[in-house]
Amino acid sequence: MAKVRVLHCCNVLDLGGEKSILVHAKYADKSKFEVFVCGRVQGGRRVAEFQKQGIPVYIAPQSIDELLKELSIDIYHVWRSGDYEPGSLPRQKPKSLKIVETNIFNAVDHGENHLINCHLFPSEFCKQKYLRTYGAFHGKRYETLYHPIDFEEFPWQPKPFQATFGRVSRSDDQKWHDICVKIIPKVFQKIPEAQCLIMGATEKKLALMRSLGVLERVQLCENSLDVASFYRRLDVFTHGSRVGETFGCVIAEAMANRLPVVTISTPQRKKSNAQAELVEHNVTGFVCRFTWQYADAVIELLENHTLRERFAERGYEKARDQFEAAQLTRKLEALYTELMDMGNA
């Protein structure tokens, strides 16, 4: 039986959600699926990781149409915002080709939506927001598929409590809520022995730390593919995104590392709020509605060992149940198979 040939495509292969493609590629059933990856605009730091897995990678092809034809692709899985992006979909779609879109920002492509067979959303929040805004188009499938977490990347290692809190994010101000920095002086004042670690601070956030007089005490780390060692140094994970999250890979990874999470809700108009879907308030962490609640939530978790351990264990259990890579990859492959069984309809 011939293998189903799948091409995953996104704009760049760097430090963002492209990690989900890498994890799906790793856990793909190689007896049934042959996987290829494309960085449509450029490569990035993840290219070498794909190559280590033996996954063929194509960078900045002249034409998606030509690449699909050259590789005899059956399933074209494009990862994008959902908006119209010239060149991200084929100009001429063969009848046998099935197109799956992971729609990251619950937008709609009014120009080429007719080409897509199935829209995947990284959270139920995203799917429901899309359907409320645009409705369901005839003949399309709409599914939620969380981003996969590779638990092999995060083997459990017991560690001594060191009153350490912090966060990791890309160096992008949209991914940073000021509250993650503004709480630092209060936490240090209440818990003098506390330590703060931050990976991916932007220039604006460094300036804010400087103005608050805490820059010298914060341990700064450059963005790196090795996030596992960073999580192992934390006791509490602090999260906050100015525009909210459509999923929040770092939240899911923190939970997989048995870290309780403190985040802030962003339900305002036009903002994403899937972080409140991942973090169950008072179960796996704290979802603060107001900025004034945030520092107290972090302090409570650093001071209350029993609560911290309970949130950590429940967060780990939820991550295992809902975000585990092999489980989600099998679900994705089942979808591919169902689409293929539809024939040329």
Instruction: Please count the CA atoms within 13 angstroms of the CA of 271 that sit on its side-chain side.
Output: 17
If asked whether residues 88 and 182 sit together in one domain, one would say no
Per the structure, the count of domains in the chain is 2
- Geometric angle at alpha carbon 258, from 254 and 261, rounded to 5°: 50
Residues 167 and 298 both lie in one domain: yes
Q: What is the CATH number of the domain that holds 13?
A: 3.40.50.2000
| Same domain, yes or no: 15 and 118 | yes
Same domain, 163 and 270: yes
If asked whether residues 175 and 107 sit together in one domain, one would say: no
Residue 187 and residue 107 share a domain: no
Question: CA–CA separation, 342 vs 338, rounded Å?
Answer: 7
Residue 342's pLDDT is 84
Q: Does residue 163 sit in the same domain as residue 249?
A: yes
And the tokens for 198? 């931050």
Q: pLDDT band at residue 16, thresholds of 50, 70 and 90?
A: confident
pLDDT tens digit sequence for 177-224: 999 999 999 999 999 999 999 999 999 999 999 999 999 999 999 999
Beta 141-144 vs 118-121: how paired, if at all?
Answer: parallel
Same domain for 181 and 260? yes
Mean pLDDT over residues 112-118, rounded? Answer: 97
Task: Please give the structure tokens belonging to residue 162.
Answer: 């060191």
Q: pLDDT per residue over 158-167, tens digit each? A: 999 999 999 9
Same domain for 241 and 137: no
The SS3 of residue 275 is helix
Identify any residues that bridge with 143 across adjacent strands, giving them in sequence order.
120
164 and 181 both lie in a single domain: yes
- The pLDDT of residue 344 is 56
Which residues span the domain enclosing 284?
Answer: 151-322
Same domain, 314 and 263: yes
Shared domain check, 155 and 255: yes
Alpha helices in 135-282 (DSSP H): 179-182, 184-190, 203-212, 228-231, 249-256, 275-278
pTM over 0.85: yes
Q: Is 60 exceeded by the pLDDT of residue 5?
A: yes
**Per-residue pLDDT band at 345 (split at 50, 70, 90):** very low
Span 187-199, pLDDT tens digits: 999 999 999 999 9
